[in-house]
Structure 1
């Protein structure tokens, strides 16, 4: 059996009760933290809280050479964990299909996701979001600006009046000069706002920092203004709103300190 477990958004306590019980019942527990991480806990915290040993796999060991995970799941009960939800944004459908092809039973125990938290914390209605995008560090795509695919997706959403959730790049194990096992880099919302302000300086943006933590930050302003602010420790996200329902506009003023003058434009 291979059980995919979403650990939630913040620390070792963010996993659901169902997920916690599955972790403790597993013969072996694998995890990856290259696509996201729990900013309020490390592997030692997870192990101590749940009485488990966690085997952390890098991208190569999950996406290209997952045989150790699959072989263990053929022999016993295995848990595979990520921050958030294992099948939303951090998608491991390929690993699940490989398991199914080998006759291994699988199941998914969901965790709270950044996607749902973005809607919940900002007051922006979930069904008014369009296609989400990931904004990479410029060095990651060989350019010095925002990739055309990101611009096109945001513009397509705006034309339909939809909000865009912008996930911000995380680089673990690789840096500007190539593979580096000690490299960890998390794009900040201010950096992202600065990149996007080149094309949309006066447009409204909404920052969400440390969703799921005891002290999340939600801030709305023009992208050019957000670029000059700091929002503390990672992880950060950014939303580019589309057309706002009056309740959404009121929520951004009340929950994110959006300038009313920006919303009136």
Structure 2
């Protein structure tokens, strides 16, 4: 049996009760933190809290050489864990399909995701979000500008009156401009992302969501050019670019995120 478990957004307590029980009952547990991380907990914290041994997998272990996980799941109960909801990343769907092809039973235990947290914290209605996009570090796409795919997604969503969730890149490597680097992991900051997007849309309003799921989440809305000048503290950060706002959504952004109401598109 291979059980995919979402750990939630922040620390060792963010997991659901069902996920906690499944993790503690597993014969073997793996976790990957290359798609996202729990900034409020280390692997040691997870192991102590749940009384399990957890092996950390690198990207290649999951995407190119998953035999270790699959072989174990043929004879044991195996937990495969990630931050957020474990099936949001397509690589994990691939792992599930590989397991199914080998006759291994699979199960998914969902966790809280950044998508739902962004809607909850900003007050924007979840069903009014369009396609999401990810802003990569400059070096990650061989160019200093914002990829056309990111700009096209924002424009297409706004043309339809929809909000855009912009994930900010996470990489393992050397210090990078615009990154918050911790233990070799780089987290793009919201101010750096805003400065890059402001080169194309300086007066467009966006919303910063920082540390969703933590005891001190931050939500702040302003024009991209103004957001580029601010420090939003510890990661993880993401951006939301609102489309057309219902009156209640505009009220929420103004009250909860200090949004400049006169710059919102209110319908």
TM-score by length of 2: 0.95
Q: Tell me the SS of whatever aligns to 2:264.
A: helix
1:3 & 1:52 partners in 2: Cα distance? 15
- Alignment CA distance shift 1:109-1:173 (3 Å): farther
Gaps of 5+ in 1: 177-181
2:25 & 2:84 partners in 1: Cα distance? 20
Paired position in structure 2 for 1:246: 247
Paired position in structure 1 for 2:225: 224
- TM-superposition CA deviations, 1:157-214 (whole Å, max 9, x none): 01101000000000025777xxxxx631000100000010011100000000000001
Please show how residues 148-163 of structure 1 align to structure 2 within 5 Å.
148-163=148-163
Q: CA deviation at 1:260?
A: 2.7
How many residues were matched structurally? 260
> Conserved in 2, the CA contact under 8 Å of 1:35 and 1:90?
no
2:49 & 2:97 partners in 1: Cα distance? 30
> Conserved in 1, the CA contact under 8 Å of 2:5 and 2:110?
yes
Q: CA deviation at 1:262?
A: 2.2
Paired position in structure 1 for 2:191: 190
Paired position in structure 1 for 2:111: 111
Q: CA deviation at 1:89?
A: 4.3
2:185 & 2:90 partners in 1: Cα distance? 17
Q: Tell me the SS of whatever aligns to 1:152.
A: helix
1:217 & 1:174 partners in 2: Cα distance? 27
1:155 & 1:7 partners in 2: Cα distance? 33
Gaps of 5+ in 2: 177-182
> Conserved in 2, the CA contact under 8 Å of 1:31 and 1:54?
yes
- Alignment CA distance shift 1:196-1:153 (3 Å): same
Q: CA deviation at 1:264?
A: 6.9
